[in-house]
Every structure is written in C-alpha cells, then in structure tokens.
Amino acid sequence: MTAFWRRWMGRRQVVLSLGEGAELRQLTMQDAPSLYELTVRNRERLRRWMTWVDFVNSEEDTRGFIRESLRNFRSGRSLQMGIWWSGTLVGTIGLFRSASAEPEAEIGYWIDESAEGQGLVTRATRALTQYAFEHWQVPTVRIRVEPDNVRSRAIPERLGFRLRGEVEEDWADGSHRTLLVYVMHASDFEKTTP
C-alpha cells in the first residue's frame, strides 16, 4: 500500500493506492453528489444490512455526513474514504476508533453492486487495516458483520481476521441484531501481509 497526502482546498487529503486503477480517497464535499447518487442506486440492496440508508434522503444529508466525517477525522476519531475505481466512486470504507475500553479500530464498508467481485473491498480493507496499525498505532482492528451477509463475511475471512465471537446490538431503526466480530492483531497482520 502506498499512502500519500494530497492537497484539497488548502487541506491535506489521505489517499491510499490499491493498484490496478483503484484507490481510496478521503471523502470531500465535492464527492457529495456522486456519493448521494451511489447511495440511492444501492438503497434497496443495502437496506437489509445498513439501516442508515433510510436517513439519507437528499444530497444535503450526504453533505452533512461528509462534514461530520471531516470533523471526526480532524479530532482523530475516524477516517471515511471513498473507493475509487477507474476514476469513479464505487463505494465507501471507514475506519473508526472504538468507544470501548480496549484501544481498537473498526472498519465498515459497502460497494456498488456493479463493482462487486473485483477484489476492491478486500484490497481496501487490507490497506485501511495497515493504515490503522501504522498511523493510529492500535493493536487490534475489528470488523462486525451479520452472520448471513456472506459477501461481507468473506472479506475478513479472506484477509486472515479471526472470529472473536458474537455481539448483540440495538440499531437506530429499532431492530435488534446479532453481529459476528472478526479481529486482526497487529502482530498477526504482519504475518499475513504479502
């Protein structure tokens, strides 16, 4: 993974090269129209796994999300990135500091249906995991997925994350969900990285 900073409107923007025409770019306000369109296009498919999609009803909602993401980045709490493939925004991936007592980071992701099966989310997750270990210096990165989300589960399993167990959560839409928790420790990541 090659990490570099790009200047955007007088600010530094995190960019991670994934190779083969793909990269992760920190989301900026300029990305709001593309991200909103991508969300609308994938709303029905994502609704099953991600309740937040029903709270994104306008481009302004998307701008609010990006604004909050940039604020959280400046305070060191999260890094929200777009997955770009051949110059087109095809998904997002985020890195979040855990609110738990353990110093962990968590990764969450989604991708446009048309870009599935290209290895983009696997490469993006590997790159962001490495970023968390190198730049945030956390000992553990975790990924939480629903048990029946087979495509999403395949990502941490493919990368060598270990299944830690299950956690039950109440979601914003009032539903109660059981999630699988996968973890990668920094020492194990060094052994699994090519």
- Amino acid code (one letter) for 174: G
Task: Say which residue, 159 or 102, is predicted with more confidence.
Answer: 159
What is the per-residue pLDDT across 136-152, written as a single tens digit (0 to 9) for each?
999 999 999 999 999 99
C-alpha–C-alpha distance, residues 120 and 102, integer Å: 29
pLDDT of residue 6: 47
Is the model's pLDDT at 110 over the cut of 60?
A: yes
Residue 41: count other Cβ atoms within 10 Å of its Cβ.
13
Is the model's pLDDT at 1 over the cut of 50?
A: no
pLDDT of residue 171: 65
Average pLDDT over residues 161-172: 86
Domains (ranges, CATH) in the chain?
2-192 (3.40.630.30)
Is the model's pLDDT at 102 over the cut of 90?
A: no
pLDDT of residue 121: 98
pLDDT of residue 86: 96
Average pLDDT over residues 119-131: 97
Give whole-number Cα distances, 82 to 66, 90, 146, in Å.
Answer: 11, 7, 22
Q: How buried is 105 (Cβ within 10 angstroms: 0-12 exposed, 13-18 middle, 19+ buried)?
A: buried
* Range of lowest pLDDT (3-17, 43-57, 72-86, 122-136): 3-17
pLDDT of residue 129: 97
Tokens read off for 101: 């007592």
* Range of lowest pLDDT (53-62, 82-91, 168-177): 168-177
Task: Say which residue, 173 or 27, is predicted with more confidence.
Answer: 27
pLDDT of residue 5: 46
68-92 residues labelled b (16+ CB within 10 A) or e (exposed): ebbebbeeeebbbbbbbbeeebbbb
